[in-house]
Structure 1
Amino acid sequence: MRLSSIFTAVVGLALAGASAYMARDFLEAQRAEAALAEQGAIVDVIVASRDIEFGQPIEAHMLTSISWPVDAVPAGVFNTFEELLPAQNGAPRRARRAMSQGEPILVNKVSEFGEKITITQTIGKNNRAMAISVNATTAVGGFVTPGDFVDIVLTQGGGSNLRAITILQNIRIIGVDQNANEQTDAPKVTRTVTVEVTPEQGQTLALAQSAGRLSLTLRTLEAEEDKPLESIKLSDVIQPLSPLPEDQPKPTIRVRRALNVTEEDPTIYGYSGN
């Protein structure tokens, strides 16, 4: 019993000492923070306490306040919850773009109270949004998602005249089908992508859609400066076949049109050898 009592007393003293040190450190940190606040060295900044998706209403449980050095505060922050949250029964602000946990809430990232949020809030000044038709093959197998950057390649013509050219480079994807959430990372086979372009690029894209098939090439994050690319033809990538010997009869193609049968030179269909 005596040893047990002694052990209990020692443990109690150790816990009491640890608690005293923790309390002292906490009080010193509080006093230091209060002193800095009085000197204007830090301010409260409202940040996201969880991930917030594009278009979501801003609610109190999504927010928290942290202390921030006043000399490093980003422009356009909110310092109080009252600035960011609506009055009782009032219309909320909404996220103009997706925000990550711990990210400061900035004025340009949220709407006004009750303001409608659409895809136009994600478009840069003087730019336009334009949709193009794609499929699993032309949209990188569905791996293109909102927020990615792509090059757009036009393929047109037929036979030996088939050619491809990169018409636009470093183009941002705004939406995939009706999804504009840049936090989406799951591949999805889509039929339409919406891209952000300048008015001049929009004209180019409109003509290209009518002229042939458009394909997207997904860019790496480390892509270097873009350079103009020359168009290439099918003949540039396919090695031509050896010509037939002069004494060997040239092949012909028999074409039937209704009741008429004609023989034609196969070279007009892109055939140039055996």
Structure 2
Amino acid sequence: MMVAIANGANSAPSAADTSGITPADGNDSGPRVLDDNLREALTFDAPYVLDRLLSDRVVETRAQAEELFTEVKKYLVLSELSHDMVIGMYSEMVDAAWHAFILFTSQYADYGHRYFGHYLSHAPTIHSGSGYDGQFGAAVEKRRPGISRPRRRARKKSTFTDFRERYETLFGQPLPYVWHDIGFITVNRRMLVDDRAGPLTLALGDGQVSLFRTNGTAVLSVNDIATAALQFIIAKGAFYVRELPGGLTDDEKIGLAQALVRSGALKVAP
């Protein structure tokens, strides 16, 4: 199936020269800013979180659970070190792993106090960037002893590019694929229509079916063999990829769902 994305929201600019991640004295960057506490926070083991992700069928393998939990810890550390910016949560899957950790109330609270010096609050705020779903996450009221915060000022909200650049600077590696939820889409994955930017509508013509927001914003265009599937998606709002009608193959169903996530029309349901 040929899919044409109508916007370029996911095209990523090149990395900036500086990351904005610095310790309190402002004279360092990259992995050197990690003190012993934060390094230990990254190596913290919580097999009960992995078990929960598997039992809730958020993931299909323990390896996937481990990858997601690793990224939760990195996200929390990155948020702690970003003095000037509220770092957005850009993956429904990583956020689901964070929620799984929070469910273990005592262990989660102890983790925050032991390694960060405070409880790690989860304060969701809808992220508006097309193609990247999630919440603005760690609301930090107190700083861990040893990392002072500059004079209090308004902290701007990150963009996905801000997040990626700071992540790659701090951890010295490309942003892992697990931050892109499309990698978790299978025929057994549940999907949700993302209507935060407005309802969706269809238009047919010239062998194509096009998806629009009701304000006229183009989302994507595909071969009209996907018409029944798109009509189903708009009508249902929530569905499993395997349920898509219209005689599509499994690969076509997955490809259509991936394209719709990239364009901001769908989001993955953990």
- Tell me the TM-score range normalised by the shorter chain: under 0.3
Which structure shows the higher strand fraction?
A: 1
Which structure shows the higher helix fraction?
A: 2
TM-score by length of 2: 0.23
TM-score by length of 1: 0.23
Which of the pair has the greater relative contact order for Cα pairs under 8 Å at 6+ separation?
Answer: 2
